[in-house]
């Protein structure tokens, strides 16, 4: 019987000769556009800017590029770009796997693709391969894995590795060994962002770099333990509760997960989105200014309260993981964009006062549906005695309520223009929509 990594490698090798279906191609381009929307604001802030200083010896040489065009070695570009793409908390989500596949997967793919001067079509195919393999591993590892591990770091390494192996056109045996080595590189703890720190985006960067390293090593003949995923002391048992790998791989190559990504509509922790969307919808229904709100009750799934846990956030990082803060900010300002985490907003007395009126609770029914569903029940009471409730069954941006291409374009421009200007942002976007026709991706 073939091992999990061998089955993944065999599928990737077979898929290499198949055409990219139009729907899959379109969604791959959407993922790359969304990645750039996350990359650019993250590239000009810490920790990415600090990594450029730390890794100065690996910059201004090499064939890969950082977000703003600086030359870099492949591994340095993967690390820094992967970190940058996860820093602003606006990168994509695979709901069932509880992780952000784009930040590590696309960072790794682009670094190697630039160095190898590969075509846009080959680049997109590698992105698809990375998404399809990593999302299945993530979904199989499940909620039990997410209890202690940060899946974007742990599962993201498989996306980065699979995509890198595809760019390198590794034959099945070496592709499998690359994935086996990536499994033992898997890292990223939840505790790393349970207090204010820069560790969380570094997980995505590390996953990108580690995935590239595993693929490059396998290309030269470095081997891994092929039973590392399902073995008695392997990945599934050590870091989850014994996943069903047959079920996980059953639809590989038939049902493409990349067509069902969540694209963020708010610049904060994705676990807060259902509450934000529900609060805004109920506020609009009640036609209620924030100043007239007397109380808010949010009941949602347990993980949302555990992760977005900060009661009195003092920094932007803490505020992005404060359910009370982002909901109060949304009710006062109508959205939760990057401006929500600027000093003036963080210290806003009205927002802080509204936070004290918000009560949080676990809803057992909604908790039981996680991670398949991310929902929240919101109740608002007004000063004049009115009361209403709202069930938000999904998040805006989830597959059931996806961002349109026009909305994705608006998100990208909102985030990219302040960094690179309107002309460059628009030109890059047009290139990304036509990426499959590009003779090489070096210009990206």
- The residues, any chain, with a CB within 8 Å of residue 50's CB and separated by 6 or more, are 198
Question: At residue 19, what are phi and psi to the nearest 5 degrees?
Answer: -70, 150
Query: For residues 95 and 317, what is the distance between their CA atoms, to the nearest angstrom?
Result: 22
Residue 212 sits in the same domain as residue 354: no
Residue 204 sits in the same domain as residue 73: yes
Handedness of CA 131, 137, 139, 143 (dihedral sign): negative
Residue 313 sits in the same domain as residue 337: yes
Q: Which whole-number Å values give the CA distances from 317 to 79, 196, 202, 338, 382, in the listed order? A: 20, 6, 13, 12, 31
CATH code of residue 32 = 1.10.4100.10
Residue 272 near residue 329 (C-beta atoms within 8 A): no
**What is the structure's pLDDT at 303?**
96
**What is the structure's pLDDT at 299?**
98
**Which stretches does DSSP call E strand in 10-109?**
59-65, 71-72
Residue 322 sits in the same domain as residue 417: no
Taking the whole predicted model, whether its pTM rises above 0.85 is answered as yes
Residue 88 sits in the same domain as residue 153: yes
Give the number of other Cβ atoms within 10 Å of residue 48's Cβ: 27
Residue 86, domain member (yes or no): yes
Give the number of other Cβ atoms within 10 Å of residue 92's Cβ: 26
**What is the structure's pLDDT at 1?**
83
Query: For residues 125 and 265, what is the distance between their CA atoms, to the nearest angstrom?
Result: 26
- The residues, any chain, with a CB within 8 Å of residue 364's CB and separated by 6 or more, are none
Query: For residues 93 and 135, what is the distance between their CA atoms, to the nearest angstrom?
Result: 10
**What is the structure's pLDDT at 443?**
79
pLDDT tens-digit profile, the chain (444 residues): 899 999 999 999 999 999 999 999 999 999 999 999 999 999 999 999 999 999 999 999 999 999 999 999 999 999 999 999 999 999 999 999 999 999 999 999 999 999 999 999 999 999 999 999 999 999 999 999 999 999 999 999 999 999 999 999 999 999 999 999 999 999 999 999 988 899 999 999 999 999 999 999 999 999 999 999 999 999 999 999 989 999 999 999 999 999 999 999 999 999 999 999 999 999 999 999 999 999 999 999 999 999 999 999 999 999 999 999 999 999 999 999 999 999 999 999 999 999 999 999 999 999 999 999 999 999 999 999 999 999 999 999 999 999 999 999 999 999 999 999 999 999 999 999 999 999 999 878
127 secondary structure, DSSP code: H
Q: Which whole-number Å values give the CA distances from 82 to 134, 169, 297, in the listed order? A: 16, 22, 36
Query: For residues 106 and 93, what is the distance between their CA atoms, to the nearest angstrom?
Result: 13
Query: For residues 376 and 300, what is the distance between their CA atoms, to the nearest angstrom?
Result: 4
- The residues, any chain, with a CB within 8 Å of residue 418's CB and separated by 6 or more, are 41
Residue 281, domain member (yes or no): yes
Query: For residues 352 and 367, what is the distance between their CA atoms, to the nearest angstrom?
Result: 27
Query: For residues 379 and 392, what is the distance between their CA atoms, to the nearest angstrom?
Result: 11
Range of the structural domain that residue 354 is part of: 270-392
Residue 61, domain member (yes or no): yes
In this structure, what token pair is assigned to residue 122? Answer: 């080959």
Give pLDDT tens digits for 55-77: 999 999 999 999 999 999 999 99
Residue 252 sits in the same domain as residue 348: no
Residue whose pair of structure tokens reads 């790393």 in the numeric block: 192
Residue whose pair of structure tokens reads 């100043």 in the numeric block: 291
**Which stretches does DSSP call E strand in 245-367?**
293-300, 358-362
- Kind and range of the H or E run holding 166: helix 156-167
Residue 321, domain member (yes or no): yes
Residue 157 sits in the same domain as residue 303: no
Residue 415 sits in the same domain as residue 306: no
Residues in the chain: 444
In this structure, what token pair is assigned to residue 417? Answer: 């223009």
- The residues, any chain, with a CB within 8 Å of residue 37's CB and separated by 6 or more, are 90, 408, 411, 412, 415, 416
Helix then strand then coil, in percent of the chain rounded to 5, is 60, 10, 30
Residue 344 sits in the same domain as residue 320: yes
Residue 159 sits in the same domain as residue 240: yes
Residue 433, domain member (yes or no): yes
Residue 231, domain member (yes or no): yes
Residue 74 sits in the same domain as residue 212: yes
Residue 442, domain member (yes or no): no
Q: What angle do CA 173, 111, 267 make, to 5 degrees?
A: 115
Integer-rounded Cα Rg, in Å, for the chain is: 21
Query: For residues 292 and 33, what is the distance between their CA atoms, to the nearest angstrom?
Result: 39
- The residues, any chain, with a CB within 8 Å of residue 142's CB and separated by 6 or more, are 240, 241, 243, 371
Residue whose pair of structure tokens reads 């770009």 in the numeric block: 81
Question: At residue 420, what are phi and psi to the nearest 5 degrees?
Answer: -120, 0
CATH code of residue 347 = 3.30.1330.120
**What is the structure's pLDDT at 253?**
95
Residue 288 sits in the same domain as residue 210: no
Residue 316 near residue 87 (C-beta atoms within 8 A): no
Structural domains counted in the chain: 2
Residue 213, domain member (yes or no): yes
């Amino acid at each position: 019987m073939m091992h999990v990594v061998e089955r993944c490698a065999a599928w990737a090798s077979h898929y290499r000769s198949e055409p990219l279906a139009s729907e899959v191609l379109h969604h791959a381009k959407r993922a790359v556009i969304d990645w750039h929307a996350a990359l650019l604001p993250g590239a000009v802030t810490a920790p990415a800017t600090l990594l450029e200083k730390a890794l100065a010896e690996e910059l201004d040489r090499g064939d890969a590029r950082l977000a703003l065009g600086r030359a870099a070695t492949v591994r340095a570009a993967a690390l820094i770009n992967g970190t940058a793409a996860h820093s602003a908390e606006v990168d994509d989500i695979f709901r069932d796997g509880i992780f952000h596949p784009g930040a590590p997967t696309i960072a790794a793919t682009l670094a190697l693709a630039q160095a190898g001067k590969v075509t846009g079509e080959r680049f997109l195919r590698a992105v698809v391969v990375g998404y399809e393999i990593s999302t299945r591993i993530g979904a199989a590892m499940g909620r039990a894995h997410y209890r202690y591990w940060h899946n974007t770091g742990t599962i993201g390494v498989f996306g980065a590795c699979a995509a890198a192996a595809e760019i390198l056109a590794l034959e099945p045996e070496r592709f499998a060994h690359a994935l086996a080595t990536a499994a033992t590189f898997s890292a990223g703890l939840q505790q790393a962002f349970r207090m204010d720190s820069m560790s969380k985006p570094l997980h995505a960067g590390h996953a990108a770099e580690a995935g590239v390293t595993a693929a490059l090593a396998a290309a030269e003949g470095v081997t891994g333990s092929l039973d590392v995923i399902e073995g008695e002391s392997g990945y599934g048992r050590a870091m989850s509760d014994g996943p069903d790998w047959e079920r996980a791989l059953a639809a590989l190559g038939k049902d493409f997960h990349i067509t069902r990504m969540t694209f963020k509509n708010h610049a904060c922790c994705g676990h807060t989105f259902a509450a934000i969307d529900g609060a805004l919808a109920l506020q609009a229904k009640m036609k209620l200014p924030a100043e007239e709100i007397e109380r808010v009750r949010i009941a949602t799934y347990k993980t949302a309260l555990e992760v977005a846990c900060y009661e009195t956030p003092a920094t932007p990082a803490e505020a992005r993981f404060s359910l009370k803060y982002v909901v109060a900010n949304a009710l006062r300002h109508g959205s939760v964009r990057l401006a929500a985490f600027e000093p003036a907003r963080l210290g806003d007395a009205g927002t802080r006062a509204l936070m004290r009126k918000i009560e949080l609770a676990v809803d057992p029914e909604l908790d039981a549906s996680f991670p398949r569903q991310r929902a929240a029940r919101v109740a608002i009471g007004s000063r004049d005695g009115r009361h209403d409730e709202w069930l938000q069954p999904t998040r805006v941006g989830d597959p059931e309520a996806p961002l349109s291409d026009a909305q994705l374009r608006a998100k990208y421009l909102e985030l990219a223009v302040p960094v690179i200007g309107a002309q460059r942002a628009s030109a890059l976007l047009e290139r990304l929509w036509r990426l499959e026709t590009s003779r090489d991706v070096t210009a990206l």
